[in-house]
Amino acid sequence: MQILELMKEANTLLQQILEATLQERSYLRARNLDAFAQCVDQKELLIHSLETNHDTRSNWVKSRGNEFSRSGFLAAIADLKDKAVIEQELSAMESLLGECKRQTDINNTVVGRTLSVTTKYLDILKGHQQDKQVYSPSGKATHHAASHVLGKA
């Protein structure tokens, strides 16, 4: 497989990963955890394919006597006729990778907040809430832990 084909494949995979990441967020916001889990599984397969592509590109660069880095990659493609197209694909790849990282960070924040809120709700339902400013079922602030137990007011 030629390096240009590998680069295009990597960009296609990154685009699919980005779309899956955005879909994950919509499932998180809708609290559709089954669909979220399926999306995570699909994304895992895409990432595995991207890792395989990465290994193939790495081996190609090393076979040309360069280390696998940005500068090593640019040196490896320096004498190819498709150099300009490959550089465009590399630029697109770097852009997609950055956007995937940014969107994943946003999703991690959403997951963290969801976990925090869910944990707090469960503590309130179990009567383990330590915060004295939690409201009782009647809507009044109280200092009595018993008012935070489900079924007691």
- Domain locations along the chain: 3-115
pLDDT tens for each residue of 82-135: 999 999 999 999 999 999 999 999 999 988 988 888 888 888 888 776 655 555
pLDDT tens for each residue of 50-77: 999 999 999 999 999 999 999 999 999 9
Tokens 């009782």 -> residue: 136
What pLDDT was estimated at residue 35? 96
Angstrom distance (rounded) from CA 89 to CA 5: 10
What pLDDT was estimated at residue 104? 95
pLDDT tens for each residue of 141-152: 555 555 555 555
Angstrom distance (rounded) from CA 46 to CA 24: 14
Q: Which long-range contacts (CB under 8 A, 24 or more apart) does 60-68 make?
A: 60/3, 60/6
Q: Give, to the nearest 10 degrees, the angle between helix 33-63 and helix 3-29.
A: 160
Superfamily of domain 3-115: FlgN-like (1.20.58.300)
